[in-house]
Structures are given as structure tokens and as C-alpha cells.
Amino acid sequence: MLDKAQKTETTAIFDGISVVGNVKGSHNLYLNGQFEGTIDLTALLLVGKTGKLKGKVKAEYVIIEGEVEGRVTAKEKVELRDGGKYKGEILAPSVMISDNSFFDGIVQMLKEGTEPPPISTKIKPPEIEESKEPKAS
């Protein structure tokens, strides 16, 4: 995907620019400014070190080096790199979370070509039946 991304047109939102709304397209998007809303791409989304995103994202490949809060769905992979901060839900067939990043959320690994089911924000531990009789060792 990253080789393909180098051959695709790129749009950038630079540091100092703030956008509220919806973006849809086939260009790569480099976000170093602030964005609130929905992003729907058939390409790469890179949230740079100064980038801040709040909302829903759907893209082929997502790289997070800045701050993201919301739901991210990727067709190929999501990377949370060193210094990146993420809070929310990730749905992707492959997810990489760096040791030097912050992650607070839920990850659901998807098989390619499947639609994501809704993620419950309330995760319950599995119920364990306790036996009344002690086990012999």
C-alpha cells in the first residue's frame, strides 16, 4: 500500500489550519492541522505529529503520529506510531501499536472484504462457573 500511496495524488491540511466537515476522495490525505468530522478515502490517511483529528475515518491505510479520537476503519492496516495518541475504536485486518504511543480503546481485527459489526463499548469479562467442590490435585 505504501508503494501505491507514493504514486497517488496527495492533499495536505497543514499546521495552523482547522477544518470542520466531511472529506471524501481518492487522494492521500496528510493531516498536520486540525480536523473534526468524517473522512472517507480510497487511499492513505497520515495524521502527522501536529495533526489532531476527531470523528470517523474510513481509509485504505491509516498512519497515526499525532492525536486521533473516534472510529477508524481501515481496509488494510492501522499504524499507531511513536508519539501518537489514539482514543476510540479501530476496525482493520492488521493493527500495529508502538510501545511509545498512547492507546485507549477497542481493536477489532477484520478479515478483508467483510463488513464490520457494531462494537460494544461495554466489554464484559467471560463468565466463569465456580465449582462448589474443591478439585483434587
The candidate with the shortest Cα–Cα distance to 26, out of 44, 47, 4, is 44
What is the tens place of the pLDDT at every residue in 33-78? Answer: 999 999 999 999 999 999 999 999 999 999 999 999 999 999 999 9
**Cβ–Cβ under 8 Å, residues 66 and 85:** yes
Q: What's this model's pTM, rounded to 2 decimal places?
A: 0.79
Going by the DSSP 8-state scheme, the letter that residue 87 receives in this structure is E
Q: Give residue 114's identity as a one-letter amino acid code.
A: T
DSSP conformation letters of 7-24: TS-EEEE-TT-EEEEEEE
How many CA atoms, within 13 angstroms, populate the side-chain half-sphere of residue 38? 5
112 band by pLDDT with thresholds 50, 70 and 90: low
- Does 130 score more than 60 pLDDT? no
